[in-house]
Structure 1
Amino acid sequence: MSDKRPPASSSARARLETPGRRWRGFQIDVEAVGRVSESIARFLGTGKYLLIQTVVVIVWIILNVAAIGLQWDPYPFILLNLAFSTQAAYAAPLILLAQNRQENRDRVSLEEDRARAEQTKADTEFLARELASLRLAIGEVATRDYLRRELEEIKSLLAERDAEEQQPHR
């Protein structure tokens, strides 16, 4: 068999196909980023966050309207609008990421529930078959009442026979 690989210096494609030449730079823990994103998204949806944001906006506006020497963002409040735009630009993807992670957890939970339901159904069907076979087997087994009736009948037949034997034959 011949080696069909091109020489190492032939093209960039050959270098990309060679294992072990990847860049080994900064590694990101996707799970950790997801957890942090979810915690931020959860905080963004709380009353505490809304209260803090409202207080910051009120203080911002009061300082920029009332304090003549501290007006870093005069009336149209362009810097405040820029801050809100930046916040919205980050909040939307964080919320979507949190929703995607929740959807994945829900899907896994649904699959587990479905598997558990299938197992429960199989167990229930097995127990129903076992119960049916026990009922059939019990139907074929002599019960105490059945034996008592049979013994009473035999006793009465024996009593009749003894009574006939003790009578003189005519």
Structure 2
Amino acid sequence: MAPERETGTRERAATGATAAGRPRVRLDQPRAPRRRLLPEYDPEAFGRLSERIARFLGTGRFIVWMTVVIIIWVLWNTSAPADLRFDHYPFIFLTFMLSLQASYAAPLILLAQNRQDDRDRVNLEQDRKQNERSIADTEYLTREIASLRAGLGEVATRDWIRSELQDLVRDLEERYAEGPPDRPGVFPAERPRGRDVDDR
């Protein structure tokens, strides 16, 4: 009896069925696609098409063509022979066509505006991040320039050394002017250039 139980358990494990009789969900396999009643479409392609239509509706070309079509429509239905007219005087069919065009144009324009708002939001976010990076870089460069200025304040420059040497020369000239050079202590006597006896 025990081997029969083991084989039944193995069969259920192989088929993926659980003890309750429901099929077990396999995580290592993709789900089967669901059937949908509505037709599927590409939202990006539909959005691009709506933007193109909204762009065309906002041009002067569309207004001119719509005006030409309405004038031809009215002239045809007023001056053509009675049996060739398809929309008599109140022009109900023309009113229906214009309302249909308006009912489709409004959502398409709103969809195009929503897509443009999304793009503007992304651009503003990128601009904000770029501004933050620029501000951080500017602050870093400002700190670096301040530290360089502080460091240069402690460095002896050529002009400073030149001014110090000029002050020393001026002091020496003043000392020389105060007394003759033969007085001891003012200028020490130069040692002979020959070989010194003490160096031996």
TM-score normalised per structure 1: 0.83
Deviation at 1:5, TM superposition (A): 9.1
Q: Percent identity?
A: 51
1:142 correspondence with 2:156: yes
The structure in which a higher percent of residues are helix is 1
Matched, 1:59 2:72: yes
Runs of at least 5 residues in structure 1 that lack an aligned partner in the other structure? none
- Listed as ranges, the matches of 1:13-162 within 5 Å are 19-23=31-35, 26-68=39-81, 69-161=83-175
String of CA shifts for 1:20-51, please: whole Å, max 9, x gaps.
24127854211111111000011011111000
**Structure of higher RCO (CA pairs closer than 8 Å, 6+ residues apart):** 1
| CA–CA distance in structure 2, aligned partners of residues 23 and 100 of structure 1 | 30
SS of the aligned residue for 1:166 comes to coil
Partner Cα distance (2:48, 2:105) in 1: 15
Distance 2:107 2:19 in 1: 43
* Mapped partners of 1:20, 1:34: distance in 2: 28
How many residues align structurally? 160
Unaligned runs of 5+ in 2: 1-16, 185-200
Structure 1 residue 81: Cα displacement:
0.8
- Amino acid in the other structure paired with 2:93: L
CA deviation string 1:59-81 (max 9, x = no partner): 00010011123210001111101
Describe the shift of the 1:26–1:140 C-alpha distance in structure 2 as closer, same or farther (beyond 3 A): same
Structure 2 length normalisation: TM-score?
A: 0.72
C-alpha RMSD of the superposition? 2.6
